Amino acid sequence: MTSFQSYRDQRFPVSNIRLLETDGMSITWGTFHLTDELYIQKYPADTNNPENKYFLSHFCISGNTESTITKRQFSIFGGQHSFFSVRELSSVHLHIAPSRRGDNSFFEYSLSQQYFKEHFIQDSRVLNDMANRIEKEPFCWVGKNPSITPSMTYLISEITRQPYSGAMRSLFLECKIIELYLAQIHSFDSCDCKILKLSRGDIDRLYDARDYISENLNKKVSISTLSREIGINQTKLKAGFKQLFGTTIFDYAIDQKMKLAIALLEENRLSLTEISDKTGYSHPNHFSSAFKRKFGVSPSMFEFRHQ
């Protein structure tokens, strides 16, 4: 979960990486394609504007990443987000695994120490934990990483769309990053820390369950059907899925339907009836209601804003 902003190594197969910077923050996003696992060591001298890297947040949209910072190892899987903070950037070992679905995709933002302190949330459990430890050692979240929610996906979509320029762009980016920051900290503070023992086989089956849901968004998949398809009992399926991915099976299915809906609305090629069918809703009104509950705006209004 180290920054991708300054990799220039030719072994790093960048296909499309964008960088935005404003006072006190940096924003990076992009996609790249891997055919094999990639190992990179990154040094402080490789980093642009290191003063902006006090708090770094990473959203792993697809693919898996494993990092080692000052001998502390942590991982983040596709569909999850995490963060870390260091007073001074040390060397970082980065291991990136190919996405199971093609391109690796990510979004990240980082904040300067001054900006972070100005926006410190006093009653946040995870931020207070970080503040108490950062003076002595680098901080990284070593618990279960929360899942990227549809609201986060929507905010990331708004940021990467860049609807403004000049001073308006800076203000827009700051507002959206603060929204994303608040949503992210809330998700960490809400984490359930109870741990269920999962074997390697259990984990593989749970990933198969996640893939099965994602590949059948136009269908209503029951827990019993999913349990039978992947070969794991319903109790472990429900508890293990929530532990591994930070969300329930039902909420994950809804989240993926909404992510697909956003992508289809942005393409502006299908009618709302067709989109509701592709996302597994029996009637466009049901789809519109679910979409508005998630994003606070109707699908038609979202589509209008993105024309």
SS3 track for 150-214: HHHHHHHHHHHHCCCCHHHHHHHHHHHHHHHHHHHHHHHHCCCCCCCCCCHHHHHHHHHHHHHHH
In the prediction, which pLDDT does 9 show? 45
Q: Please name the helix (run of DSSP H) or strand (run of DSSP E) that holds residue 72, with its range, or none.
A: strand 72-76
Say yes or no to pLDDT of 102 above 50.
yes
Q: Among candidates 294, 306, 298, which has minimal Cα distance to 269? A: 306
What is the mean predicted confidence (pLDDT) over 102-117? 84
In the prediction, which pLDDT does 181 show? 92
Domains and CATH numbers, the chain: 4-190 (2.60.120.10), 200-301 (1.10.10.60)
In the prediction, which pLDDT does 179 show? 94
**Strand duo 92-97 + 64-69: pairing:** antiparallel
**Strand duo 80-85 + 55-62: pairing:** antiparallel
Say yes or no to pLDDT of 84 above 90.
no
Convert the pLDDT of each residue in 244-256 to its tens digit: 776 789 888 988 8
What is the mean predicted confidence (pLDDT) over 16-29? 82
Supply 293's token pair. Answer: 């509950």
In the prediction, which pLDDT does 8 show? 40
| CB-CB contact of 201 with 208 (8 Å) | no
Long-range contacts of 159-166 (CB under 8 A, 24+ apart): 159/27, 159/29, 159/107, 160/18, 160/29, 160/107, 161/306, 162/20
What is the mean predicted confidence (pLDDT) over 163-188? 90
Say yes or no to pLDDT of 169 above 80.
yes
Residue 102 DSSP code: B
Say yes or no to pLDDT of 131 above 70.
yes
* More confident of the two residues 17 and 288: 288
Angle made by CA atoms 66, 149, 120, in degrees to the nearest 5: 80
Cβ-proximal residues to 32 (8 Å cutoff; 6+ apart), any chain:
12, 13, 14, 15, 16, 17, 103, 104
Q: Among candidates 303, 305, 307, which has minimal Cα distance to 265? A: 303
**Range in 49-63, 143-157, 159-173 the model is least confident about:** 49-63
**Which pTM does this prediction carry?**
0.59
Give the percent of the chain with pLDDT over 70. Answer: 72
* More confident of the two residues 262 and 121: 262
Convert the pLDDT of each residue in 25-71 to its tens digit: 889 888 877 666 665 555 444 445 445 457 888 898 877 666 555 45
Q: How many CB atoms lie within 10 A of CB 108?
A: 21
Give the whole-angstrom CA distance, residue 203 versus residue 206: 5
Give the whole-angstrom CA distance, residue 108 versus residue 61: 10
